[in-house]
Structure 1
């Protein structure tokens, strides 16, 4: 003789899982991925912090770094006397307005240049130097 089967439980949309048959163990419930969610959130924050640091220091260095011109290079100097902007350029470029005569390293002393030469002191972090410039004759 076999045991009578229990009546089928009505299906409730809130509980879509089937009820186990009489005498069967209930199916294991998967664990909630709480640890995985916290790990993803933590890694996301770490990535954002690294990106912020890279932007703060990396981009600032690229766009605000001094011109590393050498003697014989031409530059275009624009901006005010107190805040000049210097870009290296080809000497044949129409925008080139100065030629670098010499570079004096580890100083801000603009008097290191010969009288009559323009001098431009540059600094970035611990690096400092003076560009001695001569106007380009066109």
Structure 2
């Protein structure tokens, strides 16, 4: 007598993840390209403008002015900061006329977008 073979367990196909539709893949790729383009434009224009933009200080603020007369570099500083070398006495709006400041003050013409103004400055007394 021969033994019958043991019963075989039914075999089911291995579960597979459903294939993503081709449209989603193309849409993600398109969004990735758009995001890279937006980032490139932001880097080219936005970040450069942010770091090279003039200081829009108000009266009472202190600043550090370095660079040449024709190309000054201005940074806002705390008035107690050792690097602060001028205090903004007043801001004259809608002009580049550095003579709008009173005698004895330094003047610095600035432009912020379409807004133009002159910072009237006095040296910080240390």
Does residue 91 of structure 1 match 2:79?
A: yes
2:112: which partner in 1? 124
1:76: which partner in 2? 64
1:1-138 mapped onto 2 (5 Å cutoff)? 34-138=22-126
What is the number of equivalent residue pairs in this alignment?
Answer: 109
> Structure 1 CA distance, aligned partners of 2:21 and 2:89?
67
What TM-score do the two structures reach when normalised by structure 1? 0.69
For structure 2, the 5+ residue unaligned runs are 1-17
Instruction: Pick which of 101-110 and 67-76 moved more.
Output: 67-76
CA shift, 1:33, in A, is 5.2
1:67-106 CA distance string (max 9 Å, x none): 1211111111011111111111122222111111100011
Max radius of gyration: which structure?
Answer: 1
Runs in 1 of length 4+ with deviation above 6 angstroms? none
CA shift, 1:36, in A, is 3.7
What TM-score do the two structures reach when normalised by structure 2? 0.74
* Matched-pair contact (CA < 8 Å) for 2:56–2:112: no
RMSD over aligned CA atoms reads: 2.1
For structure 1, the 5+ residue unaligned runs are 1-29
> Structure 2 CA distance, aligned partners of 1:35 and 1:113?
64
